[in-house]
Amino acid sequence: MSVPISFRLDKGVATLTLDRPEQGNTIDLPMARALLEAALRCDEDAAIRCVVITGSGKLFCGGGDVGSFALAGASISSFLSELAGTLHMALSRFARMPKPLVTLINGPAAGAGLSLAIAGDIALAARSAHFTAAYGALGLSPDGGMSWRLPRLVGLRRAQDIILTNRRVPSDEAAAIGLVTRVVEDDRLYTVGADVAGQLANASTAALGAARNLLLGPFESELEAQLERETRSIAALGGSDETRALVAAFLERRSAKPGKDH
């Protein structure tokens, strides 16, 4: 069985690569568990001074693995609760670790993939990347901290637009509204990302960790409380007949268009 995430440590920089390119790096339970395991290692290993998350293939992350939603059948609510809950434990650990997090968004990011992309302290997007909330098309509500982070990054009005209309946000607009830090030409993404990660790894981990903690402090709602609300909401919606029909329709459309990106 292939490993859903590759891990590389070099000069204090841990690089986690989502490695399900044939599935658009979508998140199933094994990947969520691998993310949690990696997050724990990154938090606890003193040799790691900066963490980078990126994707393999054409997509950064296409969100949740819709095929696994369908396979859950009548147990979809409990399945989504476990999937979102596991992912949320990983994201909480990434947010609370003292090391900085850099996301290198090498391609499209949707659903929980968008949540993961914007979790970086520094989020560098390839010019070919674009961003979609995607939940409405499946009759689901956001997870991965999207409802907590997105309004804080782009403002409530823009967050409402992005989540409720499900529109695609191109990379240039994403940078202009603060969804990502900046846009980098595709062939320069990993070079620029390595420079940024190297600078952060050579800085004071204690100082960066303190700054990260302070930047989370002013917000009225704690991240973990919102993550729990998201888990309960997506799990409840997942059990509805409407969502089951939308998931089946999504899979039918995808199977009818082989080779299409998400």
Mind listing the pLDDT tens digit for each residue in 9-39?
A: 999 999 999 999 999 999 999 999 999 999 9
> Alpha-carbon torsion 163, 169, 57, 185, what sign?
negative
Mean pLDDT, the chain, integer:
93
> Alpha-carbon torsion 108, 150, 116, 208, what sign?
positive
pLDDT tens digits, one per residue of 127-168: 999 999 999 888 999 999 999 999 999 999 999 999 999 999
Q: Report the percent of the chain where pLDDT is more than 90.
A: 74
Distance of alpha carbon 89 from alpha carbon 84, whole angstroms:
9
At CA 170, angle to CA 142 and CA 55, rounded to 5? Answer: 65
Confidence of residue 262 (pLDDT cuts 50, 70, 90): very low
Residues in the chain: 262
Distance of alpha carbon 243 from alpha carbon 176, whole angstroms:
33
Task: Determine the number of helices (DSSP H) and then strands (DSSP E) in the chain.
Answer: 11, 9
For 131, the token pair is 């961003």
State how far the alpha carbon of 123 is from the alpha carbons of 49, 67, 179, 215, 257, in Å: 17, 28, 8, 16, 31
Distance of alpha carbon 6 from alpha carbon 15, whole angstroms:
8
All structural domains of the chain with their residue ranges: 5-186+206-256
> Which residues, including other chains, have CB under 8 Å from residue 186's CB and lie 6 or more apart?
106, 126, 127, 128
For residue 260, pLDDT over 70 is answered with no
> Alpha-carbon torsion 59, 60, 65, 66, what sign?
negative
pLDDT tens digits, one per residue of 74-104: 898 999 999 999 999 999 999 999 999 999 9
pLDDT of 28? 95
The alpha carbon of 90 is separated from its chain's Cα centroid by a whole number of angstroms, namely: 10
State whether CATH 3.40.50.300 applies to domain 5-186+206-256: no
For residue 191, pLDDT over 90 is answered with yes
pLDDT tens digits, one per residue of 231-241: 988 898 888 88
Distance of alpha carbon 51 from alpha carbon 196, whole angstroms:
11
